[in-house]
Amino acid sequence: MTSTDLQWFSHTNLDQYRGQYVIIADQHVVFHGNNLKELVTSFRKQFPQQIPQIAKVATEDILVL
């Protein structure tokens, strides 16, 4: 994940995607869901020249010390 996308991901409220995979491009969630294979296939069709930036949104708040 690019540093800009990583910073955006860590500071954005993604509660609506809890427990789901998200694919991020240019600081936006472009695909989300539970089936990672389908998400990557859809991403590659729409963005054939890009590498997918994938994360899984936690199901609950996590405190990292």
Q: What is the DSSP string of 9-58?
A: HHHS--GGGTTSEEEEETTEEEEEES-HHHHHHHHHHH-TTS--EEEE--
pLDDT at 24: 94
pLDDT at 9: 87
Is this model's pTM higher than 0.75 or not? Answer: yes
Which range of residues forms the domain containing residue 44?
A: 3-56
Report the domain count for the chain. 1
Domain assignment present for 63: no
Mean of pLDDT values over 30-49: 96
Mean of pLDDT values over 37-62: 92
pLDDT at 63: 66
Domain assignment present for 34: yes
